């Protein structure tokens, strides 16, 4: 099933190289913003954003335009709605559920009205990284640079607003504006994640690596570095392992992410106990 020579041979094809590069860029994006998603308690929002990218993609499929562009528009619109309407923690889950159910209803309508392209419809759910192409890779690289540049500029106030929004607001931090900025970055990342692992499994790259990193350290910078490393291992490793057997990439990406999380769940408490013992000795 896992034939090394077949994997090496497939890596000589340009579309496979593009897929690996796309996965590496997505791993970088997902690892960079994942710890902030955990800190802002927005895991459900990621699920909602990724599924509502399906609405944008389905609308694009119906209109006969680029599915990737439609997914980005759908994700960004959904993320901005979540960011604007769900600033209060007690309302966040209900706002996401309301918008999500409406968006999925539209998805069903668009897919029903659309042409019979079963392959395209299935790839919206499970991802199709080998179809990224040069144009998609260029768009992903451009968006990666833009998102990381914006993140670098707003990282400190965004981290403050994510950790303690009430105190941040009292000290003059523009919490609502930062919520919208973060929502746009989240929407763009989720849209590209949908193309790699599909709308149903994008949590495996945006949440699981960051959740695993949080088991090992409470330092936000270290957690971000670890999340990037874990996301890269899951995304790139998932593609490499899927080449020879021809199994969908999402299967390996989710499995690797889950195994990393389980290992960190075991190692993290042991490290904390060892640190407490060293302090009391």
CA angle 202, 9, 67 (to 5 degrees): 35
Position 128 scores a pLDDT of 64
Distance between CA atoms of residues 191 and 180, nearest Å: 16
**Can you give the length of the chain in residues?**
281
Position 112 scores a pLDDT of 76
Number of neighbouring beta carbons within 10 Å of residue 202? 30
Position 264 scores a pLDDT of 95
Chain-centre distance for alpha carbon 180: 17
Position 80 scores a pLDDT of 79
**Contact between residue 140 and residue 26 where contact means Cβ atoms under 8 Å apart:** yes
**Contact between residue 33 and residue 154 where contact means Cβ atoms under 8 Å apart:** no
pTM of the predicted model as reported, rounded to 2 decimal places: 0.81
Distance between CA atoms of residues 140 and 152, nearest Å: 18
- Residue with token string 């989720």: 190
Taking the alpha carbons at both ends of the chain, their separation in whole angstroms is 51
Burial classification of residue 28, based on how many CB atoms lie within 10 Å of its CB (0-12 exposed, 13-18 middle, 19 or more buried): middle
Position 154 scores a pLDDT of 92
pLDDT in tens, the chain (281 residues): 667 788 888 888 888 888 888 889 988 988 999 999 888 877 777 777 777 777 887 788 778 777 777 877 887 888 778 777 766 667 777 787 788 778 878 877 887 777 655 555 556 666 666 666 777 788 788 888 999 999 999 999 998 888 888 888 888 888 888 888 888 888 888 777 776 666 666 778 888 999 999 999 989 999 999 999 999 999 899 888 888 777 777 788 889 999 999 999 999 888 888 877 877 76
Position 106 scores a pLDDT of 84
Number of neighbouring beta carbons within 10 Å of residue 146? 13
**Contact between residue 37 and residue 197 where contact means Cβ atoms under 8 Å apart:** no
Q: Which among 1, 92, 76 is positioned nearest to 42, based on CA atoms?
A: 92
């Amino acid at each position: 099933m896992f034939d090394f020579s077949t994997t090496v041979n497939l890596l000589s094809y340009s579309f496979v190289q593009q897929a690996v590069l796309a996965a590496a860029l997505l791993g970088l994006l997902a690892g960079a913003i994942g710890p902030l998603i955990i800190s802002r308690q927005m895991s459900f929002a990621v699920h909602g954003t990724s599924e509502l990218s399906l609405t944008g993609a389905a609308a694009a499929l119906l209109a006969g335009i680029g599915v990737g562009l439609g997914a980005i528009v759908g994700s960004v619109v959904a993320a901005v709605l979540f960011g604007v309407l769900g600033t209060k923690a007690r309302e966040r889950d209900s706002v996401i559920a309301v918008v999500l159910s409406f968006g999925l209803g539209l998805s069903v309508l668009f897919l029903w009205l659309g042409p019979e392209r079963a392959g395209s419809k299935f790839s919206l759910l499970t991802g199709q990284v080998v179809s990224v192409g040069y144009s998609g890779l260029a768009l992903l690289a451009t968006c990666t640079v833009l998102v990381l540049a914006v993140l670098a500029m707003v990282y400190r106030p965004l981290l403050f607003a994510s950790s303690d929004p009430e105190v941040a607001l009292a000290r003059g931090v523009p919490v609502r504006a930062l919520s919208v900025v973060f929502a746009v970055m989240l929407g763009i990342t989720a849209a590209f994640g949908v193309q790699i692992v599909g709308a149903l499994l994008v949590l495996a790259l945006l949440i699981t690596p960051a959740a695993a990193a949080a088991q090992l350290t409470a330092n936000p910078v270290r957690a971000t570095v670890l999340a990037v490393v874990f996301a890269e291992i899951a995304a790139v490793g998932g593609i490499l392992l899927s080449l020879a057997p021809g199994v969908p990439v999402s299967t390996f990406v989710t499995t690797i992410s889950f195994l990393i999380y389980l290992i960190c769940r075991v190692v993290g408490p042991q490290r904390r106990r060892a640190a407490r013992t060293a302090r009391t000795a």
